[in-house]
Amino acid sequence: MQYHRYGGSEVLCMEEVEEPHAGPGQVRIAVRATGVTPADWYLRSGMLRDIATVDFPHIPGMDAAGIVDEVGEGVTGTAVGDAVFGLVPFVDQGGAAAQYAVLEA
């Protein structure tokens, strides 16, 4: 799911996107659950654009839980198959409301 402009729920659309990959110090997870918080609504509506801008198109969602399926260089203590939860760096990339998301390890 992503959006191409600020607005209400009507701007959300289901689209195919490239799968993200874990970079150094990151893990990629197969998302099993994500939350929707007031911060997500405010960000999508544009109410936060003076303090937190996003690049469009933008995949919403900050909180994610899932199974690690890719581990970036330098990551220790986390392995493929581990169940994890964490925050997606939404301003840089966004993306908890997707099949895969990248988290800082």
Q: pTM for the complete prediction?
A: 0.88
Q: Note the pLDDT of residue 95.
A: 85
Pairing of strands 12-13, 2-3: antiparallel
Q: Note the pLDDT of residue 39.
A: 87
CATH no. for residue 92? Answer: 3.90.180.10
Q: Note the pLDDT of residue 29.
A: 97
- Count of structural domains within the chain: 1
**Sign (positive or negative) of CA dihedral 59, 65, 70, 76:** positive
Exposed, middle or buried, 71 (CB in 10 Å: 0-12/13-18/19+)? Answer: middle
Q: Note the pLDDT of residue 89.
A: 75
Q: Note the pLDDT of residue 91.
A: 60
Q: Note the pLDDT of residue 53.
A: 80
pLDDT tens, residue order, the chain (105 aa): 999 999 999 999 999 999 999 999 999 999 999 998 898 899 999 999 998 888 899 999 999 999 999 999 999 999 999 999 998 876 666 689 999 999 999
Q: Are 61 and 40 in contact (CB under 8 A)?
A: yes
Q: Note the pLDDT of residue 103.
A: 93
Residue 67: domain span: 2-15+22-104
